[in-house]
């Protein structure tokens, strides 16, 4: 009887035995989530945030001063040493002021790369999701693997809800003040809330960017590390705090959704060309 699983395993094994130059360009013998160890050597972020990989990644210790890693079974707690240092310093600073523990969500996989589900970015070891919920103490193993969520946005509106707290604003601000931070993605309603607050200096708001979702966590993205010639930064953000650019977001979120009578257009997926260095890592 023909066993498709055994056949696929045999094909993958044969592909892995081929020299890199003989591997067909459209075939990948492995997926990034099958690696459980980083590439040894000097740390380097390669490619872009949404199409890249990393060598020399460092695992964030699962528990540290002022933070705990959640959903550890995913194996997504690796990053460039700059990212690990950023998380540890931010957690330490905030812990000293409010005694809470940050809950650290997804970073990158051991070698970065494309996720099978959940993210389009987080590929080069420079992104991290930090939850808005904070823990008052150390969580049990079960609580860390299945953490309770805290949504701070009122659904269907352009406002935060009763769970929003000054500590959330302080957390975002403290992260944005770090010069290594390129962007912080939050729900547009959160950006709107931050813009409505009084700040002695609001220049850090420029790096806080509105984006879909992100009502449970903030997504922090660092700049390419100095000296990483193969790392690709995003375009620089326009000048200003960005608070005057929220009208479009408000309309998108609060306006009634039109009824779709016409058939949906078929959108062809964009085929991304993997960086040669990442392709080498993936196929070895």
Query: Mind listing the pLDDT tens digit for each residue in 66-115?
Result: 999 999 999 999 999 999 999 999 999 999 988 889 999 999 999 999 98
| pLDDT of amino acid 261 | 62
pLDDT for 14 beyond 70 = no
Q: What gap in Å lies between CA 8 and CA 235, rounded to an integer? A: 41
Q: What gap in Å lies between CA 214 and CA 181, rounded to an integer? A: 17
Question: Of residues 179 and 263, which shows the higher confidence score?
Answer: 179
| Confidence grade of residue 8 (pLDDT, cut at 50, 70, 90) | very low
Token pair of 235 as six digits: 């375009």
* CA separation, residue 194 to residues 24, 50, 169, 198, 201 (Å): 50, 27, 7, 8, 12
What percentage of the chain reaches a pLDDT higher than 90?
72
Looking at residues 108-127, what average pLDDT do you find? 90
pLDDT for 218 beyond 90 = yes
| pLDDT of amino acid 118 | 73
What domains does the chain contain, in order, with CATH numbers?
31-235+271-282 (3.30.1380.10)
Which residues are within 8 A (CB) of 114 and not within 5 positions of it... i.e. 6 or more apart?
31, 32, 51, 123
Token pair of 64 as six digits: 């540290």
| Confidence grade of residue 270 (pLDDT, cut at 50, 70, 90) | low
Least confident stretch, 10-19, 24-33, 196-205: 10-19
Token pair of 217 as six digits: 């966590």
- Residue 25 Ramachandran class (φ > 0 left, ψ -120 to 50 alpha, else beta): alpha
Q: What gap in Å lies between CA 129 and CA 169, rounded to an integer? A: 16
pLDDT for 17 beyond 50 = no
Q: Write phi, then psi, for 193 (nearest 5 degrees).
A: -65, -45
What does the angle CA 171 – CA 206 – CA 178 come to, to the nearest 5 degrees? 50
**CA dihedral of 220, 222, 223, 224, whole degrees rounded to 10:** -130
């Amino acid at each position: 009887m023909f066993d498709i699983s055994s056949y696929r395993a045999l094909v993958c094994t044969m592909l892995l035995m081929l020299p890199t130059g003989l591997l067909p360009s459209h075939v990948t013998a492995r997926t990034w989530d099958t690696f459980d160890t980083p590439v040894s050597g000097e740390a380097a972020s390669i490619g872009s945030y949404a199409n890249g990989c990393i060598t020399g990644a460092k695992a964030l210790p699962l528990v540290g001063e002022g933070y705990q890693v959640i959903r550890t079974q995913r194996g997504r707690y690796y990053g460039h040493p700059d990212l690990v240092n950023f998380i540890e310093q931010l957690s330490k600073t905030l812990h000293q002021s409010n005694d809470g523990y940050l809950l650290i969500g997804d970073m990158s996989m051991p070698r970065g790369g494309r996720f099978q589900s959940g993210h389009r970015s987080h590929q080069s070891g420079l992104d991290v999701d930090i939850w808005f919920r904070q823990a008052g103490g150390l969580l049990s193993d079960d609580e860390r693997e299945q953490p309770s969520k805290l949504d701070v946005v009122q659904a269907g509106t352009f406002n935060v809800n009763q769970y929003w707290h000054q500590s959330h604003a302080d957390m975002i601000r403290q992260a944005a003040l770090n010069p290594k931070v390129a962007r912080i993605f939050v729900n547009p309603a959160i950006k709107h809330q931050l813009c409505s607050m009084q700040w002695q200096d609001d220049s850090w708001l420029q790096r806080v960017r509105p984006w879909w979702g992100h009502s449970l966590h903030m997504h922090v993205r660092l700049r390419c590390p100095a000296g990483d010639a193969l790392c690709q930064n995003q375009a620089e953000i326009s000048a200003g705090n960005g608070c005057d650019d929220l009208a479009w977001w408000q309309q998108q979120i609060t306006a009634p959704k039109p009824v779709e009578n016409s058939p949906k257009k078929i959108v062809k997926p964009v085929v991304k060309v993997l960086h040669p260095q990442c392709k080498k890592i993936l196929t070895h």
